[in-house]
């Protein structure tokens, strides 16, 4: 288990969910579109936590990036899919997105610079293909306890196996990805800032897009949060290792996609969203919990697994925020 260092800083702050962008389907090649979130985040926010929802059954390209970034990846979301994305914002509180899809982007939280650093452009850290491999990020991500990653699969078809885990973990949660898919991940690192990545072949590229130095807790081995009953929303309570502090947002890995959803108890979000075939690796998904750390998790697929990789602690209190006090 990886704990925060020194005085605990707030890194991730959940907000009342806000739709910040939506787009109708278009066959015309898209251009990057700005999203201004200044109405929903404070002046010191440096990044956003969003849920991307594809609203059609078509597999199309999408990507989010910090305003000013020159990254130009457009990994597809395979059909009707919800994906969690973390990206930086510029000084004017803007990010950009690119998609052909009939999509909705919802803001569920933001990050603060005391605990989170974002890179304008992702840094390629891809290991050799074929096995779990150590990736030393001590220079790129000094003092990190968690790493924000993006995985892009440039090959066609299925059977591009991917995985990310903390160094020292015995988890083996690798899954085959569809070609041209793009995923975000947040994983813990060990005390030397080492993680382990897996890619089956050289069509898979791993990028570091940021890192976390404080305000979060990561499990060495992920906790299984899979619902016991299919097709029924199940209340799950985020673990709180600290006792007197509250977990406010969970970081999940979801494998073997089926119709699924995660949402905060008491808050409305799209549910039962299809996420492609049984071999789809869902990747990363973050969502906030309510004041009692409760979330609702749903799936229709017997093979779908929900793994809690870690969570953010604490929160601020302000008009548009749902968070908690630090006692």
* Length reported for the chain: 327
Answer yes or no: is 276 within a domain. no
Pairing of strands 12-23, 103-111: antiparallel
Give yes or no for a contact between 251 and 151, defined as CB atoms under 8 angstroms apart. no
The backbone torsions φ and ψ at residue 71, rounded to the nearest 5 degrees and listed phi first, read: -55, 140
pLDDT at 258: 66
Cα separation of 100 and 183, whole Å?
A: 17
Structure token pair of residue 17: 């969910």
| Residue 286 CB burial class (10 angstroms; 0-12, 13-18, ≥19) | buried
CA distances from 215 to 55, 91, 111, 268, 312 (A): 34, 22, 10, 27, 6
Cα separation of 211 and 84, whole Å?
A: 16
**Beta-bridge mates of residue 205:** 152
pLDDT at 246: 67
Answer yes or no: is 174 within a domain. yes
pLDDT at 300: 81
pLDDT at 103: 80
Question: For each of the chain's 327 residues, which pLDDT tens digit applies?
Answer: 444 444 467 899 988 889 999 887 766 767 889 999 999 999 999 999 988 877 765 555 678 999 999 998 865 555 556 778 899 999 999 999 987 667 889 898 999 999 999 999 999 999 999 999 999 999 999 999 999 999 888 766 666 788 899 999 999 988 766 655 777 889 999 999 999 999 988 888 999 999 999 999 899 999 999 999 988 888 888 876 655 456 788 888 887 666 777 777 777 665 444 443 323 334 445 565 666 677 888 888 788 888 889 888 874 433 333 333 222
Contacts of 59 (CB under 8 A, 6+ apart): 76, 77, 78, 79, 178, 180, 276
CA 210, 252, 264, 217 dihedral sign is: negative
Answer yes or no: is 321 within a domain. no
Answer yes or no: is 325 within a domain. no
Number of H helices, E strands in the chain: 0, 23
Give yes or no for a contact between 249 and 15, defined as CB atoms under 8 angstroms apart. no
| Secondary element (H or E) of residue 21 | strand 12-23
pLDDT at 317: 35
Q: Which string of DSSP letters, residue by residue, matches 217-279?
A: EEEEEEEE---SSTTS-EEEE---TTSSS-EEEEEEEEES--SEEEEETT-----SB---STT
Answer yes or no: is 289 within a domain. no
Adjacency order of strands within the sheet including 305-313:
216-224, 305-313, 247-255, 283-288
Closest CA to 25 of 68, 67, 60, 49: 60
**Beta-bridge mates of residue 49:** 86, 109
Answer yes or no: is 262 within a domain. no
User: Which ranges constitute the DSSP H helices of the chain?
Assistant: none
pLDDT at 240: 65
Helix/strand/coil percentages in the chain, nearest 5:
0, 50, 50
Give yes or no for a contact between 189 and 167, defined as CB atoms under 8 angstroms apart. yes
pLDDT at 146: 96
pLDDT at 278: 29
Whole-structure pTM value? 0.86
Q: Which domain holds residue 167?
A: 12-230
Answer yes or no: is 4 within a domain. no
Answer yes or no: is 195 within a domain. yes
Q: Using only C-alpha atoms, what is the Rg of the chain?
A: 18
User: 122: number of CA atoms within 13 Å, CB side?
Assistant: 26
Q: Please count the structural domains in the chain.
A: 1
| Secondary element (H or E) of residue 188 | strand 182-188
């Amino acid at each position: 288990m990886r704990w925060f260092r020194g005085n605990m800083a707030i890194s991730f702050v959940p907000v009342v969910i806000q739709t910040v962008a939506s787009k109708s389907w278009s066959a015309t090649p898209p251009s990057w579109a700005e999203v201004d979130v200044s109405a929903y985040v404070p002046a010191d926010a440096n990044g956003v936590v969003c849920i991307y929802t594809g609203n059609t059954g078509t597999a199309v390209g999408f990507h989010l990036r910090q305003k000013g970034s020159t990254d130009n990846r457009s990994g597809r979301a395979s059909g009707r899919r919800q994906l969690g994305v973390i990206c930086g914002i510029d000084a004017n509180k803007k990010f950009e997105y690119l998609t052909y899809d009939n999509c909705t982007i919802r803001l569920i939280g933001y990050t603060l610079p005391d605990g989170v650093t974002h890179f304008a452009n992702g840094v390629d850290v891809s290991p050799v293909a074929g096995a779990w491999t150590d990736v030393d990020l001590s220079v790129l991500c000094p003092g990190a306890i968690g790493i924000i990653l993006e995985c892009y699969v440039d090959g066609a078809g299925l059977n591009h196996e991917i995985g990310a885990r903390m160094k020292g973990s015995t988890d083996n949660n690798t899954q085959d990805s569809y070609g041209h898919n793009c995923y975000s991940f947040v994983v813990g690192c060990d005390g030397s800032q080492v993680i382990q990545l897996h890619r089956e072949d050289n069509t898979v590229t791993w990028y570091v897009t940021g890192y976390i130095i404080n305000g979060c807790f990561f499990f060495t081995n992920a906790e299984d949060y899979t619902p016991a009953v299919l097709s029924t929303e199940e209340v799950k309570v985020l673990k709180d290792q600290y006792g007197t502090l509250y977990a406010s947002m969970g970081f999940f890995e979801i494998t073997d996609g089926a119709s699924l959803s995660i949402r905060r108890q008491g808050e409305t979000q799209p549910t039962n969203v299809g996420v492609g075939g049984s071999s789809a690796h869902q990747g990363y998904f973050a969502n906030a919990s309510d004041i009692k750390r409760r979330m609702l998790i749903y799936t229709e697929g017997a093979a779908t697994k929900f793994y809690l990789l870690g969570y953010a602690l604490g929160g601020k209190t302000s008009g548009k925020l749902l968070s908690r006090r630090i006692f």
